[in-house]
């Protein structure tokens, strides 16, 4: 089946690292994504990782993938108040020219001074 699960809420102090976790079920997914959504806005693509990779780093963002456990994490270094948002993990697309992404319910990140 298709399912993506995330913890719903994370609170961190400004300057600390944030780690947002996600588990997925569809082993046929080719890519795993992290999107950011600020209040009242659409989704911003942050980063993505190919399903045969273990890690990807992009400036303050580090994505770790444990394919055996179907576990994905997003680490944000030196978290700032501007990082406060909802973060969505997504899997897909399934291939064959099909664009469908399956999203988790989102993790709300609150950054406090």
Binding positions for other proteins, rule: CB under 8 A: 4, 31, 35, 41-45, 48, 88, 90, 93, 95-106
What φ, ψ does residue 94 adopt, rounded to 5°? Answer: -80, -5
3-state helix, strand, coil in the chain (%, to 5): 5, 55, 40
Considering the complex, state which of residue 82 and residue 97 has its C-beta at the smaller distance from other proteins: 97
Q: How far is the CB of 103 from other proteins (least distance, A)?
A: 3
Tokens of 70: 């179907």
Q: How far is the CB of 74 from other proteins (least distance, A)?
A: 15
Considering the complex, state which of residue 16 and residue 58 has its C-beta at the smaller distance from other proteins: 58
What φ, ψ does residue 59 adopt, rounded to 5°? Answer: 55, -120
């Amino acid at each position: 089946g298709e399912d993506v699960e995330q913890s719903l809420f994370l609170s961190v102090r400004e300057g600390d690292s944030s780690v947002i976790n996600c588990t997925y079920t569809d082993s046929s997914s080719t890519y795993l994504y992290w999107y950011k959504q600020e209040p009242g806005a659409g989704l911003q693509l942050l980063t993505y990782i190919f399903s045969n990779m273990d890690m990807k780093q992009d400036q303050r963002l580090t994505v770790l993938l444990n394919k055996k456990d179907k576990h994905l994490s997003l680490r944000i270094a030196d978290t700032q108040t501007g990082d406060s948002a909802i973060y969505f993990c997504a899997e897909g697309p399934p291939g064959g020219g099909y664009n469908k992404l399956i999203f988790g319910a989102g993790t709300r990140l609150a950054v406090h001074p």
